[in-house]
Amino acid sequence: MRALFIVVAATAMLSMDIASSLATEGPWCAWATIGKGNYSENCSMLSYEMCRQEITGGNRGSCYPNPRFRGSYGSVRSRRYRY
């Protein structure tokens, strides 16, 4: 019985999609200094304006494009059809 449970648990773990853990990644990262050489990085920003609001809360920081982002937020092109 214990072996069956281990096999079922291992199969369930292997069938999970690891890419879903990157669902919180956005196209912009906010980098903010939090004091004494420490910093915070938040890469879940959906727009540049959202990123700027994150770092202007009294913290010194900057916004930069997320190098790990693979989505298409805000860059959806409209299709042109020829008739």
Mean pLDDT by 10 residues, the chain (83 residues): 77 60 77 84 91 78 89 56 64
pLDDT (0 to 100) of residue 55: 84
pLDDT (0 to 100) of residue 74: 52
pLDDT (0 to 100) of residue 57: 65
d(CA 79, CA 83): 13
Alpha-helical segments (H) within 1-83: 2-15, 48-55
pLDDT (0 to 100) of residue 48: 92
Counting Cα atoms < 13 Å in the Cβ hemisphere of 78 gives 2
pLDDT (0 to 100) of residue 11: 72
pLDDT (0 to 100) of residue 63: 93
